[in-house]
Amino acid sequence: GAVVSQHPSWVICKSGTSVKIECRSLDFQATTMFWYRQFPKQSLMLMATSNEGSKATYEQGVEKDKFLINHASLTLSTLTVTSAHPEDSSFYICSASRQGWSEAFFGQGTRLTVV
C-alpha cells in the first residue's frame, strides 16, 4: 500500500501555544488529504478535507481559525492547532488519497497533550 508519514508522533505543549503537525505522502502524490481526531476507544471523527492548492473544507462544528490546514504541495499537508488548550488534547490522524482511488492511507497519528 501507499505510505503516509505523520510527524511528530507525539507532542506536549503549553496552553496558549500553537502546534504544527505534518502529513506527508511518501510514494505518491496526494490530491486530497484528510484530518481526523480520535478519542480513546472511539472511531475517527473527520475534521477537514484539504485539496492541494485550495482552501480546506471543514466539517460542521470544527473551528477553522483554531485548526489551520495548509496543503501547499501534492505531498504535504499541515495542521496547526492554534492557541491550544487542554481540551484540544487528543490523537490526530491524517490520511491521503488521490483521484481515482477509493481507499485512503493513514499516517501514524500524533498524540497531542496540552498542559
Which residues bind to another protein, rule: CB under 8 A? Answer: 1, 4, 6, 31-32, 34, 41-44, 46, 49, 91, 93, 95-109, 111
- Residue nearer to another protein on the CB measure, 67 or 105: 105
> Which grid cell is 90?
487528543
- Residue nearer to another protein on the CB measure, 30 or 114: 30
Q: How far is the CB of 54 from another protein (least distance, A)?
A: 14
Q: How far is the CB of 53 from another protein (least distance, A)?
A: 15
In whole angstroms, give the CA distance from residue 45 to residue 19. Answer: 20
- Residue nearer to another protein on the CB measure, 19 or 50: 50
> Which grid cell is 73?
504541495
> Which grid cell is 62?
470544527
- Among 19, 7, 6, 4, which residue's Cα sits nearest to residue 113? 19
Q: How far is the CB of 89 from another protein (least distance, A)?
A: 14
> Which grid cell is 44?
475517527
Q: How far is the CB of 96 from another protein (least distance, A)?
A: 7
Q: H or E segment at 108?
A: none
